[in-house]
């Protein structure tokens, strides 16, 4: 399967603990995005990378959240001191960068469902 993969698929943690999620994009996709989705809502943008550079961060991404893509391939999203409000599905997507000004479709992974008790 050459699609976007995410691990773990489910994570249950206690409030105050740190968690880390991993995303492996489609091979050779330059861009990688993180979104958060809560029940009954559409995904909300968190941040994105072009290769290893983090180009944009949403104001939703508080200081407790950090994302990295050190070698321009897989990415990690860490949440420190989790709160119950962090419970959500965390989605990763990737897209190729073909040429300037042309937007490409984003392909989503299966998501990591986080439950904070």
- Read off the DSSP letter of residue 85: G
- Least distance to another protein, CB of residue 105, Å: 5
Determine the 3-state secondary structure of 86 from DSSP. helix
Least distance in angstroms from the C-beta of 18 to another protein: 24
**Distance of closest approach, residue 50 Cβ to another protein, in angstroms:** 8
* Residue whose CB is less far from another protein, 80 or 113: 113
84 phi and psi angles, rounded to 5 deg: -60, -30
Footprint on this chain of another protein (rule: CB under 8 A): 4, 31, 33, 35, 40-45, 48, 55-56, 58, 91, 103, 105-111
76 vs 110 by CB, closer to another protein: 110
Q: For tokens 């999203």, name the residue.
A: 77
Helix count (H) and strand count (E) of the chain? 0, 11
């Amino acid at each position: 399967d050459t699609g976007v993969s995410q691990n773990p698929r489910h994570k249950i943690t206690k409030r105050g603990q740190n968690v880390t999620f991993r995303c492996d994009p489609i091979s050779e996709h330059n861009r990688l995005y993180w979104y958060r989705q809560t029940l009954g809502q559409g995904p909300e943008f968190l941040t994105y990378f072009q290769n290893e550079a983090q180009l944009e961060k949403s104001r939703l991404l508080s200081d407790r959240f950090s994302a990295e893509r050190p070698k321009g391939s897989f990415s990690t999203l860490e949440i420190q001191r989790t709160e119950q409000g962090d419970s959500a599905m965390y989605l990763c997507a990737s897209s190729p960068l073909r040429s300037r000004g042309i937007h490409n479709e984003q392909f989503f992974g299966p998501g990591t469902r986080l439950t904070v008790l």
